[in-house]
Structure 1
Amino acid sequence: MSERSAPDPDHSTELEELARDLVRIPTENPPGDEGAAAEFVSDWFREAGIDATLLEEPDPNRPQVGARVGEGGPTVVLNGHLDVVPAGAPEAWTADPYAGVVEDGRLYGRGSADMKTGVALAMLVARDLAPEIRAGELSGSVVVHAAMGEETADPGTRTLLERGFDGDYGIVLEPTDFRVATSTKGLSVYRIAVEGVATHASQPDAGTNAIDETRPLLDAIDEYDAELREREGSLCGGAFATVTEIEAGTGSNLAVIPDRAELVLDRRVLPGEDPEEVDAEVEALLDRVRAERGVETTWTRIQTYASSSIPVDHPLATSLRDRSVAAVGPDGGVGEPWGIEAATDARNFVNDAEVPAVTWGPGDLDQAHTVDESIDLADAAIAREVLEDVVRSLIE
């Protein structure tokens, strides 16, 4: 990418310290330990003189934060989530995943890219615009979400929107390397059970090995995935069907042929696709395997992230895209219409609250959920200036 403008040094230091403080608070989900981070964010806002609510919905054991500056309109909502995926074995990391190490201009740690730096950006921009809003120089207002449960499709953001922390525009501050995503891909996750007949492993022909019964199902899923890849894609790319987990024979004697196997199917859903229509495709796939190979199955959809989309030329997207190009240059697709392959809480804005929203932020999505996750702090500082300018232009 072309050379990027130099951020304000004082702003850079302040952002680094706040993002580092957030990374140092473990908030792994599962199980969902957002509480300490939510209290930190709430206290920070109160010390800054900003009204903040520690919301105990949808889960009283997992509070989240909604904050508001101003009462007028239009209102821009800056959305971030507090939860992070588990870091895994600490020894796999170069440094403690919750130490918040800064080295060579990068902040390392679980959540540094996905997305505690984004939460820090939202907090600082709201605070910095507060004097202009209170003085009446800006007629609109700013809302900040520090949401729970994004990583496991819990209704954190949706609940914040329902409880009045909504607005006219939404910016979900996930790492996109300054690209503006007007579309997000969704997913439907299925648990499929394959039935067999248990018997002693010394007499395997006396039963039906559920593991063997999964073979034609796996072949059918491969065919389904190939067919999906042939369909017309979207700004988010194509649809996929992928098996992410298989379990059979656990918790039993090692000499027993298992009578049940379970697998998890991850089906990526494009904007315009209905989850119920995807359900019907999965049901048809299983019916075909049952009819052709006699494999008995049952299924349940266990997780759903809806896709979302707004027009690529929506004023919110155009403003953020133009300001990003001015700050970092047009390379890397920053100036082009784009959709993000991952699911984000933009879906709650667009689908549930009918609020136009985009996904945008500094950092590389490839860093999310990885060992030695990190973010370039210089890019984060540039993003702070871009975000402040865009929000100001939307609420003036």
Structure 2
Amino acid sequence: MSHTKSTTKLSALISDLVQIETENPPGNEKECAEYIAQWFDEHGIDAELVEEPYPDRPQVGARVGEGDPTLVLNGHIDVVPAGNTDEWAFDPYGAEVKDERIYGRGSVDMKAGIAISMLATAELADEVQTDELPGSIVFHAAIGEETAEPGTKTLLEEGYDGDYGVVLEPTEMRTATSEKGLAWYEITVSGDPSHASRPDQGTNAIQHAQPVLNALANYDEKVRTREDDLVGQAYATVTMIKAGTKENVVPEEATITIDRRFLPEENIVDIDAEIDDLLDQVAADHDIEVSWERTRTYESAAIDVDSSLAEIFRHHSSEISGVSTDPWGVTASTDVRNFINDADIEAITWGPGDLSQAHTYDECIDLSAASDGLNVLLNVAREVLNNDID
């Protein structure tokens, strides 16, 4: 296929995917999953609508070939809500093309990654099925990544697994062998309500929250001293405070949310213990009632920085797009943890597009970058599936 024809096909596919609204919450992936399954059917590839873990939110799994090794191409089809559409210069679901960029929610995070995975799977299918390539390829269109739901984990458990994996998040085609973890904690500080004309009759939860906030600030300073060569610092950031029911009522409860970004060297059990000890000490020192709950967790994950899979991706990304071959880690959280931690599969995070575009107004993907990404992925896949990997 010529470069121009390939780019046109890629542009059309990204546009089609972007125009299907898949916001999560609430989890509107079904229409997109059905589109992808039908697309594969039209290209002569069997694809399954996997109704696990949620029957009303199917995801897509496809396997081409039975030989070894198997390379898994993974992406998620859910996107964060578009937010205030008045802030967009482009229709968030219009997939408008301007200056060789496609604009729209999910264009970079990560409908472009899904599109190049689909096209790569289709292009490689004939070579796999005729044994020109002895390996096999697996495709994932997962649900629920934006809200830490077990989409990718379920696809792996349902048999859509392999020897190697790539999660096609936008990394500007840098190859990430590690990533930070993420945990959200909701801390509740209790008080007693009263009418604001009689404030001393109650106990103001907001005032009781102040020593908790001070302790969390000190905790953030402490964890920031922890660093990793690839993913940088750890953080504990207060991101939300909620309190009060009415202007003239002393609040009986204040809720503080913290976003804890942690390193591959840290683990969630130890972090839970740190939060518990910190809040126990504050409660004892200030005679206040405090409780906590961890509401969401993305585990950290890492593989050997010199893994053969990573080296192949670095080589072809450099050859085609001049991307640095320096070791690198991603500071966000992705479903690569499900490959590494849950399925014991060697996997990296890699894909076209700039992560700083993700979740923004006027999100966009550069078409030339997406096209280069497709070419890199095809080169890598042929090398891996031909067993040219140590």
> Shorter-chain TM-score category?
over 0.9
Q: Distance in 2 between matches of 1:365 and 1:217?
A: 33
For the 8 Å contact 1:100–1:109, the answer to whether it is kept is yes
Which residue does 2:104 correspond to in 1? Answer: 109
Q: Distance in 2 between matches of 1:239 and 1:120?
A: 33
SS of structure 1 residue aligned to 2:228: coil
- Within 5 A, what are the aligned runs for 1:27-106? 27-106=22-101
Cα deviation for residue 207 of structure 1 reads 1.3
Question: Can you list the C-alpha shifts for 1:243-272, whole angstroms capped at 9, x where unaligned?
Answer: 12211113xx43111101112111112102
Which residue does 1:256 correspond to in 2? Answer: 249
Equivalent of residue 299 in structure 1, options 292, 307, 324? 292
| AA in 1 matched with 2:194 | T
Q: Distance in 1 between matches of 2:56 and 2:214?
A: 42
Which structure 2 residue ranges, 5 or more long, are not aligned?
A: none
- Within 5 A, what are the aligned runs for 1:235-246? 235-246=230-241
Equivalent of residue 186 in structure 1, options 181, 187, 210? 181
TM-score of the aligned structures, taking structure 2 as reference length: 0.97
- Within 5 A, what are the aligned runs for 1:110-259? 110-250=105-245, 253-259=246-252
Which residue does 2:355 correspond to in 1? Answer: 365
For the 8 Å contact 1:234–1:271, the answer to whether it is kept is no
Which residue does 1:4 correspond to in 2? Answer: none
Aligned residues with identical type, % of pairs: 55
For the 8 Å contact 2:173–2:317, the answer to whether it is kept is yes
Cα deviation for residue 291 of structure 1 reads 1.9
Cα deviation for residue 273 of structure 1 reads 1.2
Q: Distance in 1 between matches of 2:125 and 2:95?
A: 28
SS of structure 2 residue aligned to 1:230: coil
Cα deviation for residue 377 of structure 1 reads 0.7
| AA in 1 matched with 2:179 | T
Q: Distance in 1 between matches of 2:265 and 2:70?
A: 28
Q: Distance in 2 between matches of 1:72 and 1:264?
A: 48
Matching of residue 277 in structure 1 with residue 267 in structure 2 = no
| AA in 2 matched with 1:296 | E
Cα deviation for residue 9 of structure 1 reads 1.2
Equivalent of residue 346 in structure 2, options 347, 356, 359? 356
Please give the root-mean-square deviation of Cα atoms over the aligned residues, in Å: 1.0
Cα deviation for residue 274 of structure 1 reads 1.2
SS of structure 2 residue aligned to 1:144: strand
Q: Aligned pair count?
A: 385
TM-score of the aligned structures, taking structure 1 as reference length: 0.96
Q: Distance in 2 between matches of 1:114 and 1:365?
A: 8
Which residue does 2:7 correspond to in 1? Answer: 12
126-135 or 283-292, which deviates more:
283-292
Equivalent of residue 367 in structure 2, options 368, 371, 377? 377
Cα deviation for residue 234 of structure 1 reads 3.8
| AA in 1 matched with 2:144 | G
For the 8 Å contact 1:123–1:144, the answer to whether it is kept is yes
Q: Distance in 1 between matches of 2:77 and 2:97?
A: 20
| AA in 2 matched with 1:285 | L
Cα deviation for residue 336 of structure 1 reads 0.5
For the 8 Å contact 1:191–1:264, the answer to whether it is kept is yes
Cα deviation for residue 294 of structure 1 reads 2.0
Q: Distance in 1 between matches of 2:15 and 2:282?
A: 51
Cα deviation for residue 96 of structure 1 reads 1.1
Q: Distance in 1 between matches of 2:4 and 2:314?
A: 24
Q: Distance in 1 between matches of 2:174 and 2:223?
A: 26
| AA in 1 matched with 2:370 | A
Q: Which consecutive segments of 4 or more residues in structure 1 shift more than 6 A?
A: none
Which residue does 1:26 correspond to in 2? Answer: 21
Q: Distance in 1 between matches of 2:79 and 2:233?
A: 26
Q: Distance in 2 between matches of 1:172 and 1:303?
A: 21
SS of structure 1 residue aligned to 2:233: coil
| AA in 1 matched with 2:295 | I
